[in-house]
Amino acid sequence: MRRLTHWYRAVINNNLTSLSSVRGYLSRSYSQVQTDFSSNRVRRTFTDFFHELYQHIIVPSSPVRPRGDPSLLFVNAGMNQFKPIFLGAADPRSEMATYRRVVNSQKCVRAGGKHNDLEDVGRDVYHHTFFEMLGNWSFGDYFKEEACIMAWRLLTEEYRIPPERLYVSYFAGDATSGLPADEETRHIWLSLGVPSDHLLPFGMKDNFWEMGEIGPCGPCTEIHYDHIGGRNAASLVNADSPDVVEIWNLVFMQYNREADHSLRSLPQFSVDTGMGLERLVTVLQGQRSNYDTDLFTPLLSAIQQRSNCPEYRGRTGEADVGKVDMAYRVVADHVRTLSVCIADGVYPGMSGAELVLRRILRRAVRFSTEVLQAPEGALASLVPTVAHILVSWAIMDIINENEAQFLSSLKQGRRVIDRTLQRLENNATLFPVPVAWSLHRNLGFPLDLIGLMLEEQGLSVDQRALDVLAIENENLRCQVQTSVGDTLVHLDLHSLAQLQSGEVPHTDDSPKYHYSLAQDGKYVFQPCHATVQALYCGQTLVSEVAGGQRCGVVLDRTCFYAEQGGQSHDQVGMVFVFPQDVLYPVEAVQLAGGYVVHQVTAAEVLRKGDQVQLYLDEGSLSIPQLQEIERSIHNIITENNAVYMEEVPLARAKDIPGLRTVDEVYPDPVRVVSVAVPVADLYDSQTDRWTSVELCCGTHLLTTGEIGDLVIISERQMVKGISRIVAVTGDDAREAREAGQVLTQEVESLSARLATVASPSLADANRLAKEVGILTDAVDCTAIPQWKRRELQTRLKGLQRTTNTSIRKLETKEVSQAHNPIVLSNGFSALSASDWALTVSARLGGNAGGSATVAKGTGSVANLTEALRCAEEYAQDKTQNGC
């Protein structure tokens, strides 16, 4: 992917050069920069520096959609993909487990969750929702001294940044946590020549990095750059000044934050650094704003050509009258984020990362059409400029479709705002909260966008009241969504080290492939016998767990598929059974450091050494049963029955036949709630009654018709024969139905595509498998009718198996071809694709890699004819002279 990124950036930059000459847009200093530090060269210099001088392995950027990390909406730092290493959870069979020194440029999105810079985007000139983070890592290899030396050498010698413009912060210590100041780092910087008045101590907030509530952490040291120079700017460090900006953060992981909040020394120390490419390019191209570098100027120019407003002038704050320049920045930033996210499989949608992307799209549409006066379609038309080689009509279609959907809401909302404004007093400064909330809730306006639109009119809205409404709304959502991710049992690195030192063998998960296709088209899975090797509560190894306790179970072998390789873990219906037939429904299956962890809530005491049998259970509610439940509830809604409520003496209430009670002390008199049948009629056991009657002091609807609609969105077997279902009603039910339809269409179009690719290449098969994985995630996580989810999951599982099988076959074929080179008709061996690509790319100043049969290369395509000629020459030479 990184190669692809280089390649498309190379193409973009070539286009820019021609654009600049035709339109005379770019200034002289830019062409000067092209020969000095183009963004491409800056990125390349970084990776080459660590790779060539310090033997770091170059690792490609991971996609912005995090896999297997429910704590993240988007990848927001270079370290995300290496988290398993920091947690000691890397699969020992994986390449990752061998990493000691690594360098990369990671695509990051900070627009939601813990890291959210959305508010700053457009207002300032150095925060983006999407940016690239350059980073180098040491996993138990070098530490503070080497990391500082490398960073200083790169900045001052390779990039030739004047040292006097740099300021360095270090950890000042924290008495409450019992942490001393990081004097070691201070001395290292002094020895490198950083003057003491450029070395600044800061506390926990700025200079102590933590992965989360628990996990690896440690002091950090940050490098800041003064854009002005010729002064001492120490007081502006960490002061939100656009003139003195943090460029690089070096984190030294030496502690682990334990569950009791104490700090424990890590078994091995690591280094994790991150430097924003956009900010570095700004420094190196002698600019003050990221938007004035070659990463943005062509995009701003493209925006101007499509809009009806003066060119971008880089103004901020009060000087930016009409917020035109801010709109330019927002649109440029957001279209980059949209393009990258969509290319990585995050589409605008209704929850989680998808919802964030939808919000970003809507902000961009609003600024593009209302402030920049650009026509409909302008936004998507910028995509080719963002990433020429990734031009995808699919991306443009999605943006266009979302834009069309939102434009009518935008117009409607604009009318609502205008009408409300007319009704407000002349000197009013507050916009009514209910109207703002209805814009958000009913027309899909992001709350921050409403704030911005009102700000332009000199008004504001009670943000706290809106936040309260949003939280209430979110809580409601959460209640109906079973969030497995929040409750997972994670193996931390201490637990893993403990397992390894206790010589518990890694889980044999080969039985996961023991399945066959029966004649009725259903998959048949073989049951698997296993022994409990280890048990976890939270992160603590225990020898037994009591009934009702949630725990992690490590077995010697398993037939359950753990989340990996683009496929999510097997879903509900996986069950452990004791010989005594006690069921342990498995809620999630995860892979950590070669161990498969089954998350279960123990039905009875479970002990290390217990024998269990595992099988994929088909015993939950069937799809027709789920549909039947929904149908009978719809009938009740349609009948619009009255709901009767009456207080009656407790003893009398107990005479009601079929009354539902729970194990609770009820007051006397007690409140009886009955649907459709008046309370007085309930005592008659002859009444043919089938509706609900219960003791309840809660508030209720007065008629069943007010429910409007109902969709069951999840269902879980609690014990054999009893399932718990969760449903949504009203508008949420309608949305769930719509989301179900959209996902069905996507699954259908994907299976149609799979069916049409007769003999896919390995790359095709991998891509399709990835798409199946992404779609599976969406089907698992989106609120849709549960029966539909089950249908789609079954179809996707079939698709996943098809793609996995073809990948396995193609890989085997590739390996055998690599060992038995094809013999050409002239008697010579076939060319190695990777050698061929390397030769051509080297001539074009790029790099290449791949296998004997498939390879990809990068390079500057200044002269495509020359590139083709070089490729042909090589081939001719090889076939004429033999390989």
Ligand X SMILES: Nc1ncnc2c1ncn2[C@@H]1O[C@H](COP(=O)(O)OP(=O)(O)OP(=O)(O)O)[C@@H](O)[C@H]1O
DSSP string, 311-366: PP----GGGSGGGHHHHHHHHHHHHHHHHHHHHTT--S-SSHHHHHHHHHHHHHHH
Part of the chain binding ligand X (CB under 6 A), chosen from 241-249, 592-600, 785-793, 815-823: 241-249
User: Which one among 9, 43, 128, 329 touches ligand X, defined by CB under 6 A?
Assistant: 128
User: Which one among 117, 311, 791, 814 touches ligand X, defined by CB under 6 A?
Assistant: 117
Least Å distance between CB 136 and ligand X? 12
Residue 248 interacting with ligand X (CB under 6 A) = yes
Give 156 or 601: the residue with its C-beta nearer to ligand X: 156
User: How far is residue 544's CA from residue 217's CA, in Å, rounded to a whole number?
Assistant: 31
Part of the chain binding ligand X (CB under 6 A), chosen from 20-28, 245-253, 413-421, 873-881: 245-253
User: How far is residue 226's CA from residue 164's CA, in Å, rounded to a whole number?
Assistant: 9
CA atoms within 13 A on the CB side of 365: 25
Least Å distance between CB 359 and ligand X? 16
Residue 179 interacting with ligand X (CB under 6 A) = no
Least Å distance between CB 754 and ligand X? 38
User: Which one among 246, 292, 320, 325 touches ligand X, defined by CB under 6 A?
Assistant: 246
Number of residues this chain uses to bind ligand X (CB under 6 A): 15
Taking Cα atoms as reference points, which of 122, 129, 2, 9 lies closest to residue 74? Answer: 129
Task: Give, in order, the Cα–Cα distances in Å from 447 to each of 420, 450, 464, 751.
Answer: 17, 5, 11, 38
Give 128 or 506: the residue with its C-beta nearer to ligand X: 128
Sketch the per residue contact string, 64 through 103, with ligand X: x for CB under 6 A, - otherwise. ----------------------------------------
Give 110 or 490: the residue with its C-beta nearer to ligand X: 110
* Residue nearest ligand X, Cβ-based: 276
Part of the chain binding ligand X (CB under 6 A), chosen from 184-192, 271-279, 350-358, 773-781: 271-279
User: Which one among 133, 365, 541, 775 touches ligand X, defined by CB under 6 A?
Assistant: 133
Part of the chain binding ligand X (CB under 6 A), chosen from 128-136, 344-352, 472-480, 831-839: 128-136
**3-state SS of 110-121?**
CEECCEECHHHE
Q: Which two tokens stand for residue 506?
A: 């890694």
Part of the chain binding ligand X (CB under 6 A), chosen from 276-284, 558-566, 619-627, 861-869: 276-284
Contact 586, 599 (CB under 8 A): yes
User: How far is residue 738's CA from residue 434's CA, in Å, rounded to a whole number?
Assistant: 26
Give 206 or 403: the residue with its C-beta nearer to ligand X: 206
User: Which one among 249, 270, 495, 564 touches ligand X, defined by CB under 6 A?
Assistant: 249
User: How far is residue 715's CA from residue 821's CA, in Å, rounded to a whole number?
Assistant: 54
β pairing state of 544-545 and 611-616: unpaired
Taking Cα atoms as reference points, which of 530, 531, 549 lies closest to residue 540? Answer: 549
Part of the chain binding ligand X (CB under 6 A), chosen from 26-34, 126-134, 315-323, 751-759: 126-134
Part of the chain binding ligand X (CB under 6 A), chosen from 124-132, 447-455, 519-527, 545-553: 124-132
Residue 247 interacting with ligand X (CB under 6 A) = yes
Contact 268, 252 (CB under 8 A): no
**3-state SS of 239-285?**
CCCCCEEEEEEEEEEEEEECCCCCEEEEEEEEEEEEEEHHHHHHHHC
Part of the chain binding ligand X (CB under 6 A), chosen from 270-278, 685-693, 709-717, 823-831: 270-278
Contact 59, 102 (CB under 8 A): yes
User: Which one among 25, 46, 99, 131 touches ligand X, defined by CB under 6 A?
Assistant: 131
Least Å distance between CB 6 and ligand X? 19
User: How far is residue 151's CA from residue 248's CA, in Å, rounded to a whole number?
Assistant: 9
Least Å distance between CB 368 and ligand X? 21
Residue 367 interacting with ligand X (CB under 6 A) = no
Hey, CA dihedral for 565, 773, 77, 494, is it positive or negative? negative
Part of the chain binding ligand X (CB under 6 A), chosen from 123-131, 429-437, 457-465, 704-712: 123-131
798 secondary structure, DSSP code: H
For residue 669, is the peptide bond before it cis, meaning its omega torsion is within 30 degrees of 0?
yes
Give 116 or 703: the residue with its C-beta nearer to ligand X: 116
Task: Give, in order, the Cα–Cα distances in Å from 605 to each of 441, 584, 701.
Answer: 47, 11, 42
Residue 506 interacting with ligand X (CB under 6 A) = no
Give 244 or 461: the residue with its C-beta nearer to ligand X: 244
Least Å distance between CB 231 and ligand X? 21
Give 110 or 689: the residue with its C-beta nearer to ligand X: 110
User: Which one among 3, 6, 65, 110 touches ligand X, defined by CB under 6 A?
Assistant: 110
Residue 275 interacting with ligand X (CB under 6 A) = yes
User: How far is residue 528's CA from residue 576's CA, in Å, rounded to a whole number?
Assistant: 10
Give 130 or 406: the residue with its C-beta nearer to ligand X: 130
Residue 336 interacting with ligand X (CB under 6 A) = no
β pairing state of 693-695 and 670-675: antiparallel
Task: Give, in order, the Cα–Cα distances in Å from 246 to each of 276, 437, 748.
Answer: 9, 37, 48
Helices and strands: H and E segment counts in the chain: 25, 31
Residues that bind ligand X (CB under 6 A): 110, 117, 127-128, 131, 133, 246-249, 274-276, 278-279
